[in-house]
Amino acid sequence: MRALRGTVSVPGDKSISHRAIIIGALARGETEIINFLPGDDCLSTARAARALGVEVHVDGDRAVVIGRGMDALREPEDVLDAGNSGTTMRLMAGVLAGSPFFSVLTGDKSLRRRPMGRVIEPLCTMGAQITGRCGNAYAPLAIKGGGLRGKEYVSPVASAQVKSAVLLAGLFAEGWTAVVEPAQSRDHTERMLRYFGARVEVDGRRIAVLGRPELRGKKITVPGDISSAVFFIVAGVTVPDADITINNVGINPTRTGALEVLQRMGADITYVNTREVNGEPVADIRVRSSELTGTEIGGDIIPRLIDELPVLAVAAAHARGTTVVRDARELRYKETDRIAAVVDMLCKMGARVEERADGFVVHGGQRLQGTTCDSRGDHRMVMAAAVAGLTAKGETIIEGTDCIKVSYPGFFRTLYYLCVQ
């Protein structure tokens, strides 16, 4: 195995790219998005905004949204298709709940199996009429929006998508709308709404937005996606003699849980040149090969590393001792059931892993064996398998890699570059 060396950058943050399109569509004037992620998920959001009458131009990693204000959205002529993207469906449901017309939101087979009751319920309490399949549990969703009242919603799940759906709907309501979350989830919506001119008040776990703001189009530079960078970070930690720098990565503290856990496990990770861009903290991240020890991952940190758990499991397989992941039942509701997917992949590679209802246990320290891995149509499982394959004995074959274009179309090119430096 060659050492991994070099300096790379990763594409723009997926969560921030979605929000820049959506909030830009609600604002008046031009929003220019630099380092936009042109992955399938964000393109689904761009298409949905267009179907609502908003001008959206995407040219590689630059996007321009010409908004005419929240009241200028118009009834879509056809069903809106969110593809594989939970963020598109749930955030758009918030916007459509506020808009005084009829719309239907659907998605691919995986998205149509993911829970939507969690957004239908609060949006209906605000006054929208939303119905979904299987007793309002799943998409397609039929939405008749408008006439919303500001509410306080105490959310049972620490989900940024639920929080954002309610806050976006709150923009259309009279008065204040608040969400109280059980643990801090990513706060990009709050930060970006403020940046566009909305009044947002945060008090502990309670986030409130004042309705009917005058949002103004802005220029946004999107930081690199820490959820993409983490694959190279774990590769850098686990491959012997590696030294990698990833430039321009978003290090919003609501997203850095995985790096904190890796550091606790003994990983040599340093932030260089820390700065702030459009209200979001950014740094270059240097990572070098390290000896890891197992750890416990659970509680309030889970929402801050939820997308990184598949690749953290790969790091855990390299660690001396046992790593326990708990309180992570949400992983079962992602693009695939990621608890089952991670356990299946690592067991096939010869690791000792046990499945739990809300997580898994990895007994680390054994060398992985190359095998054939099935992505289950999940982009993050493809990249986690690729990182595991770097140190595995023999060949690792990953089937179903096409879904990688959801978040990181150029992943293998960058990984190859690091291998040949």
- Which residue is associated with the tokens 């054939």? 372
Q: What's the sign of the alpha-carbon dihedral 36, 253, 262, 314?
A: negative
Establish if 85 lies at the interface with ligand S3P (CB under 6 A): no
Structural contact between residues 232 and 244, judged by C-beta atoms closer than 8 angstroms: yes
Structural contact between residues 67 and 28, judged by C-beta atoms closer than 8 angstroms: yes
Tell me how far apart the alpha carbons of residues 239 and 289 are, in angstroms, rounded to a whole number: 6
Establish if 301 lies at the interface with ligand S3P (CB under 6 A): no
* DSSP strand pairing (322-325 vs 359-363): antiparallel
Tell me how far apart the alpha carbons of residues 44 and 193 are, in angstroms, rounded to a whole number: 21
- Choice between 179 and 235, CB closer to ligand S3P: 179
Element (H, E) at 245: strand 243-250
Contact string 323-362 vs ligand S3P (x = CB under 6 A):
-------x--------------------------------
Q: Of 32-40, 158-166, 211-219, 251-259, which segment contacts ligand S3P by CB under 6 A?
A: 158-166
Establish if 87 lies at the interface with ligand S3P (CB under 6 A): yes
Q: Of 144-152, 153-161, 280-288, 351-359, which segment contacts ligand S3P by CB under 6 A?
A: 153-161
Establish if 160 lies at the interface with ligand S3P (CB under 6 A): yes
- Respond yes or no: is residue 307 known to be catalytic: yes
Least spacing, CB of residue 161 vs ligand S3P, in Å: 3
- Choice between 225 and 374, CB closer to ligand S3P: 225
Least spacing, CB of residue 258 vs ligand S3P, in Å: 12
Listed residue (69, 18, 13) closest to 48, CA to CA: 18
Q: Of 69-77, 155-163, 352-360, 394-402, which segment contacts ligand S3P by CB under 6 A?
A: 155-163
Q: Of 62-70, 159-167, 336-344, 410-418, which segment contacts ligand S3P by CB under 6 A?
A: 159-167
Tell me how far apart the alpha carbons of residues 365 and 354 are, in angstroms, rounded to a whole number: 15
At position 400, the amino acid (one-letter code) is G
Establish if 161 lies at the interface with ligand S3P (CB under 6 A): yes
Least spacing, CB of residue 87 vs ligand S3P, in Å: 4
- Which residue is associated with the tokens 């403020």? 194
Contact string 176-195 vs ligand S3P (x = CB under 6 A):
----------x---------
Tell me how far apart the alpha carbons of residues 97 and 119 are, in angstroms, rounded to a whole number: 10
- Choice between 186 and 218, CB closer to ligand S3P: 186
Catalytic residue among 41, 187, 225, 307: 307
Establish if 207 lies at the interface with ligand S3P (CB under 6 A): no
At position 360, the amino acid (one-letter code) is F
Establish if 169 lies at the interface with ligand S3P (CB under 6 A): no
* DSSP strand pairing (280-288 vs 268-277): antiparallel
Q: DSSP of 117-137, one letter per residue?
A: HHHHHHHHHTT-EEEEHHHHT
Counted residue by residue, the chain has a size of 421
Among 35, 155, 159, 248, binds ligand S3P (CB under 6 A): 159
On the 0-12 / 13-18 / 19+ scale of CB atoms within 10 A, 136 is middle
Q: How many residues at the interface with ligand S3P, by CB under 6 A?
A: 12
Tell me how far apart the alpha carbons of residues 365 and 248 are, in angstroms, rounded to a whole number: 32
Establish if 155 lies at the interface with ligand S3P (CB under 6 A): no
- Choice between 40 and 307, CB closer to ligand S3P: 307
Least spacing, CB of residue 329 vs ligand S3P, in Å: 11
Establish if 306 lies at the interface with ligand S3P (CB under 6 A): yes
Element (H, E) at 339: helix 338-348
Contact string 12-51 vs ligand S3P (x = CB under 6 A):
---x--x---------------------------------
Least spacing, CB of residue 269 vs ligand S3P, in Å: 22
Establish if 88 lies at the interface with ligand S3P (CB under 6 A): no
Tell me how far apart the alpha carbons of residues 22 and 367 are, in angstroms, rounded to a whole number: 45
- Choice between 50 and 186, CB closer to ligand S3P: 186
* Strands lying side by side in the sheet with 5-9: 5-9, 243-250, 280-288, 268-277
Q: What are phi and psi of 262, to 5 degrees?
A: -60, -40
Residues assigned a catalytic role: 307
Residues that bind ligand S3P (CB under 6 A): 15, 18, 86-87, 159-161, 164, 186, 306-307, 330
